[in-house]
């Protein structure tokens, strides 16, 4: 191969052309980018909202009611288990504390003094000594039986725990409903926000929706729930305060009559009554009055049996009230919440009936109408010909 001078002299020309083409491409690309930046940015296309049929919303509401009822059952069983234990503890305290105290010799002596004092200070009336003695026995029952048992099982605490369990289970079941029917979460949340769960306003924060209830963490931070708890606790004082006057009054009445009879038949009381007169004489001589321990011991078994019978019935009343009282029992808060939810979704409990279309009126063909008219004309002509 021979070397030719100047053979490479023509090669710089294509290289310069390539560089020129590359620079032109870069300039064109920059121009395109500048034009794209200068043009207004196109807004992204928004997906149209999902339209949920009314029949689907009816099913959603029906499932919300079913979820509330399903959460109520375990909450009630939870509360019942604790209250069964509470009942056993109360019954044990009645046997080991209250009955021995009430039927004791020195207690009966002290009660005799109280009864006499009641009669002296209150005077005549509708059995005032029995009323005062019944209130005193209720106070003693709380101090000796209910308060010690509450240190182990407090009905107020049971009520709060049952409510938390109900709200927790309800919230878990509600989570599955929008997925079940293909309802967007934001639409389902709006549905929950429209369902009242607590309505105690004013003030406004004493109202709460179902959405606020199941999303409060913890539930004690929800002002409306705090207000509900206060209302229920205020009413529960009567339920947990001890035996009702209906149950304790017969005990007080019988004790009052027996104690006054003992005072009246004692020698010291009789002498004082003769000197001073009436109940005042009994009170003056109380320091010297005392009925015999042997007589008391003989009467004590019968006294215990009667007291056990009355307090057993009273315990049945208290337990039933704690379990079933809608305003103050251990299920009062759960009952309130589930009742408000079901009341607001009452329409979901009855499936809507689809209206059938009214039957369309089918007109007769015009030919048939004409033929009927022609037949009537022929009949009329025949009758005229016969005449």
Q: What is the pLDDT of residues 177-204, one digit of tens each?
A: 999 999 999 999 999 999 999 999 999 9
Q: Kindly tell me if the per-residue pLDDT of 378 is higher than 60.
A: no
Q: Give the percent of the chain with pLDDT over 70.
A: 64
Task: Look at residues 134, 317, 152 and name the one whose alpha carbon lies nearest to residue 240.
Answer: 317
More confident residue, 108 or 216: 216
- How far apart, in whole angstroms, are the C-alpha atoms of residue 355 and residue 211? 33
The DSSP annotation for 299-354 comes to HHHHHHHHHHHHHHHHHHHHHHHHHH-TTTSTTHHHHHHHHHHHHHTGGGGSPPPP
Average pLDDT for residues 48-73, to the nearest whole number?
Answer: 90
Q: Which of 234-238, 268-272, 321-325, 365-369 has the highest mean pLDDT?
A: 321-325
Residues 245-256 have pLDDT tens digits of 666 777 777 777
- Tokens at residue 352, please? 């809507």
**Binning pLDDT at 50, 70 and 90, where does residue 87 land?**
very high
Q: Kindly tell me if the per-residue pLDDT of 160 is higher than 60.
A: yes
Q: Kindly tell me if the per-residue pLDDT of 41 is higher than 60.
A: no
| pTM (2 d.p.) | 0.71
Q: What is the pLDDT of residue 129?
A: 72
């Amino acid at each position: 191969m021979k070397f030719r001078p100047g053979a490479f002299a023509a090669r710089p020309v294509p290289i310069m052309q390539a560089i020129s083409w590359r620079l032109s491409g870069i300039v064109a690309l920059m121009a395109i980018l500048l034009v794209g930046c200068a043009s207004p940015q196109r807004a992204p296309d928004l997906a149209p909202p999902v339209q949920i049929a009314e029949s689907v919303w009816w099913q959603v509401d029906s499932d919300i009611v079913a979820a509330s009822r399903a959460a109520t059952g375990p909450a009630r069983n939870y509360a019942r288990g604790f209250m069964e234990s509470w009942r056993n503890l109360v019954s044990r305290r009645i046997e080991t504390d209250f009955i021995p105290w009430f039927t004791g010799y020195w207690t009966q002596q002290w009660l005799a003094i109280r009864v006499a004092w009641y009669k002296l200070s209150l005077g005549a009336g509708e059995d005032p000594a029995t009323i005062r003695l019944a209130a005193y026995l209720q106070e003693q029952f709380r101090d000796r039986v209910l308060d010690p048992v509450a240190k182990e099982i407090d009905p107020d605490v049971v009520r709060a725990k049952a409510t938390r369990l109900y709200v927790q289970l309800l919230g878990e079941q509600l989570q599955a409903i929008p997925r079940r029917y293909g309802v967007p979460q934001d639409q389902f949340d709006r549905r929950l926000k429209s369902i009242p769960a607590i309505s105690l306003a004013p003030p406004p924060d004493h109202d709460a929706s179902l959405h606020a209830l199941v999303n409060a963490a913890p539930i004690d931070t929800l002002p409306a729930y705090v207000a509900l708890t206060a209302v229920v606790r205020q009413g529960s004082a009567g339920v947990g305060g001890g035996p009702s006057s209906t149950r304790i009054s017969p005990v007080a009445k019988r004790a009052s009559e027996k104690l006054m009879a003992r005072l009246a038949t004692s020698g010291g009381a009789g002498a004082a009554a003769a000197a001073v007169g009436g109940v005042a004489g009994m009170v003056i001589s109380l320091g010297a009055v005392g009925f015999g321990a042997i007589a008391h011991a003989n009467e004590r078994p019968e006294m215990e049996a009667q007291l056990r019978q009355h307090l057993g019935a009273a315990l049945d009343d208290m337990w039933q009230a704690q379990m079933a009282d809608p305003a103050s029992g251990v299920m009062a808060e759960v009952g309130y919440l589930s009742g408000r939810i079901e009341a607001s979704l009452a329409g979901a409990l009855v499936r809507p009936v689809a209206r059938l279309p009214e039957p369309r009126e089918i007109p007769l063909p015009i030919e048939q109408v004409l033929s009927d008219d022609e037949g009537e004309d022929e009949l009329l002509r025949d009758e005229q010909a016969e005449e």
